Amino acid sequence: MRKFIFILISVILLGVTAYFIFIYYVPFSEGYRSGELIKFSRKGVLAKTWEGEISQGISGAQIFQFSVQDSETEVIEKLKKYQGQYVKVTYKERYATFFWLGDTKYFIIDVVQEQSPHFRK
Domain ranges of the chain: 27-119
Checking if the pLDDT of 7 tops 80, the result is: yes
Residue whose C-alpha is closest to residue 104's, from 53, 70, 62, 57: 53
Q: How far apart are CA 52 and CA 58, in angstroms?
A: 18
Q: Can you point out the beta strands (E) in 44-114? A: 49-55, 63-68, 86-94, 106-113
Mean pLDDT of the chain: 89
pLDDT of 60 reads 62
Q: If you average pLDDT over residues 44-63, what whole number do you get?
A: 85
Fold of 27-119: OB fold (Dihydrolipoamide Acetyltransferase, E2P) (2.40.50)
- What digits encode the pLDDT tens for the residues 90-114? 999 998 888 888 889 999 999 999 8
Least confident of 40-54, 55-69, 80-94: 55-69
Q: If you average pLDDT over residues 11-21, what whole number do you get?
A: 94
Q: If you average pLDDT over residues 64-68, what whole number do you get?
A: 93
The model's confidence at residue 47, banded by pLDDT at 50, 70 and 90, is confident
Instruction: Kindly report the pTM of this predicted structure.
Output: 0.81
Amino acid at 99: F
